[in-house]
Structure 1
Amino acid sequence: MDQHAHPAAPPGAHSAADTFARLAVELHDNDGVEETVQAVVDFALQALSCCTHAGVALATKGRGLEIPAVTDPVVAEIYQGQMDRDDGPLTECLRGRRALLVIDTKDEARWPEWSSQVQSLGVRSVLDVPLTTAAGVIGVLCLYSSHPNAFTPDDEAIAHILARHASVAVANARHDESMLQAVDARKLVGQAMGILMERFDLDGDRAFEVLKRYSQDNNQKLRDVAQYLIETRKLPSRLTS
């Protein structure tokens, strides 16, 4: 045997590597959070043959959970039930920051209402994996199967890899969206300042102070005050959300 020859890869290794390589490329090619997460759940069905449904729930500041992507309405229904009850593996995964595996929903006693609901929807196995960054848990990747004891240790390993890809991609997509919003806000404020400077013969500092005062008086974001001024050519006496 050639001493320089590499050992043969285990069966399926190349296909798994190819799958994750394509996932990485596709995630980087997506522009927004929703497109990024949709790519993740679509790849989950490809990478895990036992997985029949998949979805991602993302934590948001002050707004609870949002559901940007699911593979079918069953997942949205499962999510909504847990959000309404504030109970189930999804919420536990978020709080405990650890993956949760339900081997068979018929034998699951921790969340009886949830178990009853998902059984009625044809779900027998569940694997929830947290999406984590340096800042903490940003969401959960939820995988479902119509068969009991469906997720093997290899499936769990793949799910964790998928979750790591998703965590980085979502964090990057959110950062990019925030940057675009910030740039847009600066453009609006600059345009509104220009209107004030021309109409009232103000310098830049004074025009900005006027916008800032109206923002504070109306308890509205500076961007919204600027947008109002640009659209109406008026300074608001009162703004409504």
Structure 2
Amino acid sequence: MTIPVTNPASSVATAAVFAQLAQDLHRISGVEQTAAAVLRASSQVINCTHAGLVLKGRRDALRAGPATGEIVAAVNQLQIEQRHGPAPDVLAGGHVVLVPDTRTEGRWPEWAGAAAELGLRSLLALPLATNDGMLGVLELFSTEPAAFGPCDVDTAQALCGHLAVALRNARQEETLREAMESHKLIGQAMGILMERYGIDADQAFAVLRRCSQDRNLVLRDLANQLIDTGRLPEGTRVPLHL
């Protein structure tokens, strides 16, 4: 997802931007929209050329989140594939990483070379964390070297506080929606089995669970398949031994 960037305006007070951000986060839902709102705010209160996110998923898998340009997506994909770069370091240590100049950065030579070649000269990367754990990294880029100072770090950390809480809430909402949808699908699949084979709800669920284990299928996917096709995988006997 690419987010358009607006140039920082000196007349826009940081407090007003944060107030608008709070309203936006209250109004919108979903991880992508939440992240996009914070990236827009970042471009207003910090003198960055681009901004992006690297998000931490299940089993510590990393993925590129929304970004303000394709060049950010490119350098993020590189460090995700190699698990070597500023974002993985931030996630591992939970600390702020500052890159004054990618042309002289020696910690991640391949990443720094790619960033410099794309015109990204400096970086400020900060952890997105709550009491529940690390969620990802906010990255602020500039086409100028040494673009970020102590005040930028303080402002960005405040942004990260808003974003981390909002991301956690958005993820919890998405997880709840997924769970409700899964429950609905499984209930529909159970209804099909109950009507077709004259079994009760407990038996129908046992059939689905045993079949998902035997076929190494996620229960939700099995239920969805049954709803779409009207039948269980070939070779499944119903009723199974319950």
What TM-score, normalized by structure 2, do the two folds share? 0.88
Counterpart amino acid of 1:21?
A
CA contact (8 A) 2:64 2:77 kept: no
2:35 corresponds to which of 34, 37, 40: 37
| Gaps in structure 2 of 5+ consecutive residues | 1-9, 237-242
Deviates more, 1:133-142 or 1:171-180: 133-142
The number of aligned residues is 227
Identity fraction in percent: 44
Give, in whole Å, the separation in 2 of the partners of 1:184 and 1:26. 27
**How far, CA to CA, are the matches of 2:69 and 2:11 in structure 1?**
29
CA distance in structure 2 between the partners assigned to 1:211 and 1:17 by the alignment: 54
Q: 1:59 touches 1:138 (CA, 8 Å); kept in 2?
A: yes
Q: Secondary structure at the match of 1:24?
A: helix
Q: Does the residue aligned with 1:189 lie in a helix, a strand or coil?
A: helix
The separation in 2 between residues aligned to 1:100 and 1:18, in whole angstroms, is 27
Structure 2 counterpart of 1:140: 137
- Cα distance, 1:101–1:215 mapped onto 2, change above 3 Å: same
Matching residue of 1:198? 195
Q: Structure 1 residue 221 and structure 2 residue 235: aligned?
A: no
Deviations 1:59-111 (A, max 9, x none): 11137211120000010111122123322211111111101111222332222
Q: CA deviation at 1:21?
A: 1.2
Per the alignment, residue 185 of structure 2 pairs with 188
Q: Identify the range of structure 1 (25-34 vs 142-151) with the bigger mean alpha-carbon deviation.
A: 25-34
Partners in 1 of 2:198 and 2:82 — Cα distance? 57
Residue 91 (structure 2) pairs with residue 91 (structure 1) = no
d(CA) in 2 for partners of 1:153 and 1:113? 27
Secondary structure of the corresponding residue to residue 107 of structure 1: coil
1:124 aligns with 2:110: no
1:135 deviates by: 2.4
| Alignment correspondent of 2:26 | 28
